[in-house]
Structure 1
Amino acid sequence: MKCIILIIDGMADRPTKENDYKTPLQAAKTPNMDKIAEEGINGIMDPISPGIRVGSDTAHLSILGYDPYKVYTGRGPFEAAGVGVDVKPGDIAFRCNFATVDENFVVLDRRADRIREGTDKLAETINSMKLEEDVEIIFKESTGHRAVLVLRGENLSDKITDADPKVENKRVKDVKPLDDSFEAKFTASILNKFVKNSYKLLEKHPINLKRIKEGKKPANIILPRGGGKVPSLENFCEKYNLKAACIAETGLIMGIARLAGMDVIEVPTATGGTDTDLNSIVKTILSTLDKYDFLLVNIDGADEAGHDGNFEEKKEFIERIDEVVISKILNCEDICLVLTADHTTPVSVKDHTGDPVPIVIRCPGVRIDDVKRFDEISASKGGLGRIKGSDIMNIILDLTNRSEKFGA
């Protein structure tokens, strides 16, 4: 039996007074998700533990059966691996944003108008930067406004703060060491030079001059954050005796899969966000399924709408997923399907929160409960109860008769 974990990134939400005390998922018309709920066992899931505000990285690690408190070193290494950088032991990797600042380094837009085009040319320019003879800079664009930075060399440390203030109308932060070691002080100095030099190189770049003419904000600085050393993960395929692959749009999720030893199947036309090509995603899922025992699928878009505080956009994107993706997967036979989110991203908060997310498992032989709709409130009444992300792989292995008995 095949297994699919389908994660709709940031889909879960909180009810708002302005929208008749409904979440976007409750307000959305999702007949196909509802059918899965009706034919499966439902519940709510804490990606790590109740009240913990998880990132997509720590949530996915937990869902795949890893302990984030033991293996997580920062988001940067996963982002770097996800966009194809061959990260090595000792490397310090950062996730980055192409951003917009004024001449005083005040951040005007952390995502540079959600830039989509020309980032490869900007990345080429950044890679021409020279800082220290013994430190190599590897910079690569990811999807949209995202990018990665890897520092390679001697005397480097990940015990440093972020340059990204994480909000608009604040100055770019000075990177500081988190301990008194020479390595931390040296790395903080390197990163501060990198940020300042990125502004010098990008301020008058032809791509940005063109953007300004078009009335768009320039991507005139690189803001690194989430630095970490490359972690060591137990091979997922060997751990569970599964031939496994990942289908995702974002470098972060692809990077987690690569470092876990899973194959990564890239979606040719996926760009991330609510304008992503869902038809291309579902075609990739269906064409890949025969070759693997296990698929991890992540669909971005709902999360971005949540971060933007856009209720209607989030609702409509969920409806599109239901119509385009879920409707096709419903027709697959002999599948153990898990449908859930990795975290809650309420439009009222515009960030991740520690609320549990809805989850449903549709599988031959599963105990079907009385839930008829898939949403945060309906799912809480299901037979699965309240579980943790770290429970999912054990449940899947049991339902597909891959579990070994514990005890006599």
Structure 2
Amino acid sequence: MKAVIFIIDGLGDRPNKEGNTPLKEANTPTMDKIAKEGICGIMNAVDIGVRPGSDTSHLAILGYNPYEVYTGRGPFEACGVGIDVKEGDIAFRCNFATVDENFVVLDRRAGRIKETEELARELDGLEIDGVKVIFKQSGGYRAALVLRGDGLSDKITDADPKKEGRKVKMIEPLDDSEEAKRTAEILNKLLKIAYEKLNNHPINEERRKKGLPVANMILPRGAGKVPYVQKFEERYGLKGACIAGTGLIKGIAKMAGLDLIEVEGATGTPETNFMGKAKALVEALKEYDFILINVKGADEAGHDGDYETKKIVIEKIDEMLKYFIENVDKDEVYLVLTGDHSTPIEEKDHSADPIPIVIWGRSVRTDDVEKFDEFSTYKGGLGWIKGKYIMPILMDLMGLANKYGA
């Protein structure tokens, strides 16, 4: 038996005035078929009432305790884009952003700029006060930053103000250590250098001519040291792989020892290569026992408050799932279909609202749920579960769980 955990990033939502969500209103015949043939429920990846990040959610869903292994988003982001993070490095997740001359953030994602590789090279390899700067683009407006040198700390605040119309935050130490003070000073210097190097870069000059937001600032956040993460195969005895378009999810997978399957055009955006990922998933099951697949576009639309795009992305994912169930043997593969968190249109951010979940495959106890959405699956046989239960349930279904007791 094999298993797939299919994560629709940011899937869940809250009802609008008409009582609808993008998922409820979307045309999803395949998701509904899976719900009818599977066992349904709702899930909070980390815990009830906790607004999780995509990183902590995925760790929990894979069976790792995020409260033990999560030090910050940065190490996973850096690992995922291919930076060879070393012991003592401090890693950050970054956005390219648009700011005015007073460092007021006008667009936290610089108009979702795509052409950032050349901009990233302007910062990569810099040295500030004896500390090396490693900077790499990780897909569109996203990037990863690593500081390498002596006397550094991850006990510092973020630069990201989280909302437009606010100034880039001065980075401050979170404790009284000299290492934290030094790291904050270096990062504040880097932000000024970034503005000087990027503001009048030819790519940004061209964007100004077109009336597009420029990428003239970086917003580091999620500082952390590289954690120890037990290898997935060692933990479960399953040879695993991951299909994802974003550096963060790739980084989590790499740290867990999952092989990365690259798909051309997999961008982590609403314009990703949906069917390319579906075909790669089916093909990967010939070699691997376990696949984690993440499709990001619905989350992007949620953060943008774009109801229609989120609905369209969900419908495209339904087509992916149609290809999947038509090309696998239900008697040989278990599918967990769910999200990692809710990203409500009204919030434009993650929330603690639970997410629909269904488990589909041989000998699964079905229930009377007939539609896959936030208002239907809660009636299913799984009830309300946490992400940490997914892998134990799969291991039991696959006949690989150890008996507890005599």
TM-score of the pair, normalised by structure 2: 0.98
**Counterpart code for 2:117:** D
- Quote the residue 2:128 is aligned against: 131
% of aligned pairs identical?
60
Q: What's the offset of the Cα at 1:166?
A: 1.2
- SS at structure 1 position matched to 2:286: helix
Work out the CA distance in 1 between the residues paired with 2:271 and 2:265. Answer: 11
Work out the CA distance in 2 between the residues paired with 1:400 and 1:257. Answer: 21
**Counterpart code for 2:401:** S
Per-residue CA deviation, residues 65-123 of structure 1 (Å, 9 max, x unaligned), is 11111110000000000101111111100000111111111111111110012x11111
- Quote the residue 1:405 is aligned against: 403
Work out the CA distance in 2 between the residues paired with 1:311 and 1:207. Answer: 31
Aligned pair partner of 1:354 in 341, 352, 355: 352
Work out the CA distance in 2 between the residues paired with 1:153 and 1:267. Answer: 35
- SS at structure 2 position matched to 1:290: coil
- Quote the residue 2:155 is aligned against: 159
The answer to whether 1:97 aligns with 2:92 is no
Aligned pair partner of 2:171 in 170, 175, 184: 175
- Asked whether the 8 Å contact 2:159–2:171 carries over to 1, the reply is yes
- Quote the residue 2:187 is aligned against: 191
The answer to whether 1:328 aligns with 2:342 is no
- SS at structure 1 position matched to 2:92: strand
**Counterpart code for 1:348:** E
- Quote the residue 1:318 is aligned against: 314
- Quote the residue 1:121 is aligned against: 118
- Asked whether the 8 Å contact 2:12–2:341 carries over to 1, the reply is yes
Q: What's the offset of the Cα at 1:327?
A: 0.3
Q: What's the offset of the Cα at 1:306?
A: 0.7
TM-align CA RMSD: 0.8
- SS at structure 2 position matched to 1:377: coil
1:16-27 matches, cutoff 5 A: 16-17=16-17, 20-27=18-25
Q: What's the offset of the Cα at 1:310?
A: 1.2
1:365-380 matches, cutoff 5 A: 365-380=363-378
**Counterpart code for 1:221:** M
- SS at structure 2 position matched to 1:232: coil
Work out the CA distance in 2 between the residues paired with 1:75 and 1:111. Answer: 17
Per mean C-alpha deviation after superposition, the further-off stretch among 1-10 and 203-212 is 203-212
Work out the CA distance in 2 between the residues paired with 1:121 and 1:319. Answer: 34
- Quote the residue 2:5 is aligned against: 5
- Quote the residue 1:143 is aligned against: 139
Work out the CA distance in 2 between the residues paired with 1:16 and 1:211. Answer: 35
Work out the CA distance in 2 between the residues paired with 1:85 and 1:42. Answer: 39
Aligned pair partner of 1:82 in 76, 80, 83: 80
- SS at structure 1 position matched to 2:371: coil
Work out the CA distance in 1 between the residues paired with 2:50 and 2:89. Answer: 29
Work out the CA distance in 1 between the residues paired with 2:342 and 2:213. Answer: 30
Aligned pair partner of 1:227 in 223, 226, 230: 223
**Counterpart code for 2:127:** K
Stretches of structure 1 that go unaligned for 5 or more consecutive residues are: none
Q: What's the offset of the Cα at 1:130?
A: 2.7
- Asked whether the 8 Å contact 2:38–2:364 carries over to 1, the reply is yes
- SS at structure 1 position matched to 2:316: helix
- Quote the residue 2:252 is aligned against: 256
- Quote the residue 2:383 is aligned against: 385
**Counterpart code for 1:33:** M
**Counterpart code for 2:322:** S
**Counterpart code for 2:207:** R
**Counterpart code for 1:82:** G
Per-residue CA deviation, residues 197-253 of structure 1 (Å, 9 max, x unaligned), is 000111111111111112111111111011111111011111000000000011000
- SS at structure 2 position matched to 1:346: coil
- Quote the residue 1:62 is aligned against: 60
Work out the CA distance in 2 between the residues paired with 1:286 and 1:392. Answer: 21
Per-residue CA deviation, residues 8-39 of structure 1 (Å, 9 max, x unaligned), is 0001111110xx20111111110000000010
Work out the CA distance in 2 between the residues paired with 1:207 and 1:369. Answer: 55
- Asked whether the 8 Å contact 2:264–2:273 carries over to 1, the reply is no
Work out the CA distance in 2 between the residues paired with 1:398 and 1:265. Answer: 26
Q: What's the offset of the Cα at 1:128?
A: 4.7
Q: What's the offset of the Cα at 1:129?
A: 2.7
Q: What's the offset of the Cα at 1:290?
A: 0.5
